[in-house]
Amino acid sequence: MHHASGVNKMRQQRAPYWVPLELYTLSRVLSGYIHCPTEIRLLDLLNGAGSLEHGMNYGFLEFIDISASGEEHTYQEGLREYIRKAAVQLVATSDVNLARGVGAKGGAKLYPFVPKSAVPVSLQLQTYTLIGCAHCSQGQSLYDVLNEDKLFIPLTGVTIAHQYGLYATRPFVAVNKEQVTSSREEDPARLAPL
């Protein structure tokens, strides 16, 4: 009985600001929850926007209720870990709307709408290869997106390949540009599911 009430209490504390996601680092993949107010987009949180207004630390992410893969498989209810953003290779969500903040709700637009085109790309990181779509403004190339003054860039419809052949697909991924070793725009006709 005591354990069940503890789980319910933790779930109440998570909603609505604790968002489920995966953090990919060099040595492991962490699944858990990150604190992201509903009015902030995940990408803005990762890039430090709103950090002063919401008391968020720019350099680290607070991650709770973590299960990890890598050398060991662990899970601990209520476990908090603080992870340096620079060490994160990518952040993935299983629901594309989790990343959009208020913009995920119909009619609510706190952000200026900038039309963008989906550009098929592949990005090589030290541990992972990502195949998906970058989103470029008119006249913008992947090169321009990679050189913007932001640490994380968004990709959608992403296939994640691990150096050991493990694959996953996610509708939204935020990639740490500092972890990208090479990239290229792909011919849409050449892209096929792995």
Query: Is residue 194, in this structure, part of any structural domain at all?
Result: no
Claim: this prediction has a pTM higher than 0.85: no
Query: Is residue 190, in this structure, part of any structural domain at all?
Result: no
pLDDT of 83-96, one tens digit each?
999 999 999 999 88
Question: Which residue intervals of 35-89 are DSSP H helices?
Answer: 42-46
Query: Is residue 141, in this structure, part of any structural domain at all?
Result: yes
CATH number at residue 136: 2.30.30.100
pLDDT of 130-174, one tens digit each?
999 999 988 889 999 999 999 999 999 999 998 777 778 999 999
The CA–CA distances, whole Å, from 65 to 18, 20, 50, 102, 105 equal 10, 10, 24, 24, 27
The beta strands (E) that lie in 126-188 are given as 128-137, 152-162, 167-176, 180-185
Query: Is residue 193, in this structure, part of any structural domain at all?
Result: no
The structure tokens 């933790």 sit at: 10
> How far is residue 26's CA from residue 126's CA, in Å, rounded to a whole number?
8
Determine phi and psi for 159, rounding to 5 degrees: -100, 130
pLDDT for residue 99: 63
Q: Which domain holds residue 43?
A: 2-185
Our count of domains for the chain comes to: 1
pLDDT for residue 2: 42
pLDDT for residue 75: 58
Q: Take residue 47 and report the two structure tokens written for it.
A: 């890039």
Query: Strand, helix or coil at 46?
Result: helix
> How far is residue 39's CA from residue 110's CA, in Å, rounded to a whole number?
8
